[in-house]
Amino acid sequence: MTYRIALIPGDGIGLPVTEAALQVAQKAAPGLLDCVTFPWSCEHYLQTGRMMPEDGIDTLRGFDAIFLGAVGWPAKVPDSVSLHGLLLPIRKAFVQYANIRPHRLLPGVEGPLRKQGFDILCIRENTEGEYSGAGGRVHVGTPDEVAVETSIFTRVGVERILRFGFEQARKRRGKLASVTKSNAQKYSMVFWDELTHQIAADYPDVEVSHYHVDAICARMVMAPETLDVVVASNLFGDILTDLGAAIQGGLGFAASANINPTRSAPSMFEPVHGSAPDIAHLGVANPIAAIWSAAMMLDHLGAADAAARIMAAVEATTAQGIGTVPGQDRTEVITAAVLAALD
Amino acid sequence: MTYRIALIPGDGIGLPVTEAALQVAQKAAPGLLDCVTFPWSCEHYLQTGRMMPEDGIDTLRGFDAIFLGAVGWPAKVPDSVSLHGLLLPIRKAFVQYANIRPHRLLPGVEGPLRKQGFDILCIRENTEGEYSGAGGRVHVGTPDEVAVETSIFTRVGVERILRFGFEQARKRRGKLASVTKSNAQKYSMVFWDELTHQIAADYPDVEVSHYHVDAICARMVMAPETLDVVVASNLFGDILTDLGAAIQGGLGFAASANINPTRSAPSMFEPVHGSAPDIAHLGVANPIAAIWSAAMMLDHLGAADAAARIMAAVEATTAQGIGTVPGQDRTEVITAAVLAALD
Ligand SMILES: CC(C)[C@H](C(=O)O)[C@@H](O)C(=O)O
Ligand SMILES: CC(C)[C@H](C(=O)O)[C@@H](O)C(=O)O
């Protein structure tokens, strides 16, 4: 059995971390991954006028999974091109509705909080809501200008992400936190609250809490150990997972999976960090988030053992103090340590 | 000179903290405040069917300032009533467009972060944006249900809050962080970014940074000392200020002012915390956020000396370890210590 993987290293530090992640994955699961690399990136845009070819989505559809390094180079290419021309369309086209992001401290990593023990799994809705792209502007450039941006939430969209969250909670510590802002947004967020109540009835074994997004942000900092699975909308999940990355020591440790649970299309795995063009030339990008994301990919493809061995190797590496301080170790030093720990 | 103050203690811990704040303010500025108390609250709603009388806004308009404890008692009254029937309409009706929330550690308070030194002033847009209340639901209760929620940003609304932020930055360390999510929300947030660029031209002495909301949440936890004035939309400001409250030790320390900078209507001062109905009977509500908010009120009314004396007394109190640990000291013990420190 081999799986066909589309690699999109992207821009900046996306390239070295993708290479690192692939080396580790190939060693942990020899022969399992058959990779094709696509040069789709801001560089590609500058040459071709597109982040990916017109048939890019169709090309990707034939793969078993996608691994993305990072895209974006704001000084050269506006976000409206780089993100809306690649990352966001892939998430939507392949109905990767569950964006899964684990937040815990790896051994040896000293996060910014005094508190050390927490293990949170954020499940972010990835296809609609505040990222629907609906809106417009009138009277542009005049004193009367108005911009509107509309969040669209559908029952199918909200239900499936909540059910996914409940299933995950069942496999973990049985606690689910549903995040809204229903005290201020009375259409979308009240709807989300109602669906949470309804679906909770199917999961009597899961303990449900309702938080407003402001309150759960505070909780992630004051009492992260009280959280288990956190389910949130596209925007709130985005915010919570950067905060989750922060409390776990930084974006260098934040992995993610954009999952299509029905498997009707490929899922995509990517570190949460961006392309960091400002530090891309320094050679100190931390590959751990990318390696962790590759482990999530193997797990999704059914190679749970290889995934577990990668995570054990990552933990052995950070426990030695390698890769634990941002900017301290070179990418290849960290990668070599993880590869060695796989032996 | 006396100022007429409308006191709305509200619900739960709103009552004791309002009393504490007023005692301190009266002692710091004897004879300056002429207070009228309004019983508007969830209790009031249960008796009268309204959070405040129909002419509540008109009544308040005659005052120089409003002091609000906290409203809300979700078990008895839904948020849609308690907040949309009092707090949010006051902010909008009186064009209190600048919600100011200071975040720094008081002496003796050990926050959740390892880092100790930071001093952030969040300026939150308070009248439009994601809290516009526009939206709707169709096919309610069916599998096809869709809910939409529309954020409305106007040039007048965004410009005035940005200018207010730039003015504050000028009075402080000269740094302004503008918060958007323009890489995902391409109408409202791109508009905000454009206006930030335009207005920045009028403030060449202020150093401007642009952050996405996810990135600045991470920064508030990883490197809060790098931030000075932070300007954000209604929702993003809500999120950032709860996070700000968390890093300053909790909601017991988070003060706020809802300012109408034109002074065409009264401004409102309120601790950021809610009514905390679950702990309201314990007598351990921390009045410091409310006392700090009262100091902001005195400052706004022109009594800068009295405001400074209150803050010195608060700092003397927390430096002794009184009121620094949530739930440890009784409300009246903390209040007595602040009153004593005013002598
Ligand atoms: C780059 C940006 C559009 C993206 C998002 O907000 O989804 C990123 O922040 C993420 O979290 O994956
Ligand atoms: C109670 C709620 C509507 C309110 C808000 O979000 O504005 C509160 O969280 C605040 O920050 O003042």
pLDDT at A31: 96
SS (H, E, C) B108-119: CCCCCECCCCCE
Cα A148 to ligand 1 centre (Å)? 20
Mean pLDDT of A82-107: 96
- Is the minimum CB–CB distance between A42 and chain B shorter than 8 Å? no
Binned at pLDDT 50, 70 and 90, residue A74 comes out as confident
Distance from the B314 Cα atom to the nearest Cα atom in chain A, whole angstroms: 23
Where does the pLDDT of residue B245 fall: very low under 50, low under 70, confident under 90, or very high at 90 and above? very high
Question: Is residue B211's pLDDT more than 90?
Answer: yes
Write out chain A residues lying below 8 Å of B130, CB-based: 184-185
Given a contact cutoff of 8 angstroms between Cβ atoms, the answer to whether A54 and A22 are in contact is no
> Is pLDDT of A1 > 90?
no
A35 touches chain B (CB under 8 A): no
Q: For residue A147, report the phi and psi dihedrals to the nearest 5 degrees.
A: -120, 135
Asked about B181 being catalytic, the answer comes back as: yes
Token pair for residue A343?
């032996």
Residue of B nearest to A79 (CA): B183
Active site residues of A: 131, 181, 214, 238, 242
Chain A interface includes B325 (CB < 8 A): no
Q: Report pLDDT digits (tens) over B255-290.
A: 999 999 999 999 999 999 999 998 999 999 999 999
Cβ(B183) – ligand 1 distance below 6 Å: yes
Centre of ligand 2 from the C-alpha of residue B160, in Å: 21
pLDDT digits (tens, 9 = 90+) for A207-251: 999 999 999 999 999 999 999 999 999 999 999 999 999 999 999
Q: How far is the CA of A238 from the centre of ligand 1 (A)?
A: 6
Average pLDDT for chain A: 97
Ligand 2 pocket test, candidate residues B81, B83, B128, most atoms within 8 A of CB: B83
A168-198 pLDDT tens trace: 999 999 999 999 999 999 999 999 999 999 9
d(CA B71, CA B11): 5
The nearest CA of chain B is from the CA of A28 a distance in Å of: 32
Domains and CATH numbers, chain B: 1-103+251-343 (3.40.718.10), 112-247 (3.40.718.10)
Model confidence over A43-53: pLDDT tens digits? Answer: 999 999 999 99
Q: How far is CA A233 from CA A70, A99, A153, A199, B71, in A?
A: 22, 10, 9, 16, 27
Identify the nearest ligand to the CA of A11 by its number: 1
Percent of chain B with pLDDT over 90: 96
- Contact between B225 and B113 under an 8 Å Cβ cutoff? The reply is no
Q: Which of B11, B228, B238, B329 is catalytic?
A: B238
Q: Which of B114, B151, B188 sits opposite A112 (nearest CB)?
A: B114
Are A67 and A293 contacting, i.e. CB atoms less than 8 angstroms apart?
Answer: yes
Q: What is the mean pLDDT of chain B?
A: 97
Q: Whose CA is nearest to atom 7 of ligand 1?
A: A238
**Catalytic site residue B214?**
yes
pLDDT in tens, B27-82: 999 999 999 999 999 999 999 999 999 999 999 999 999 999 999 998 889 888 99
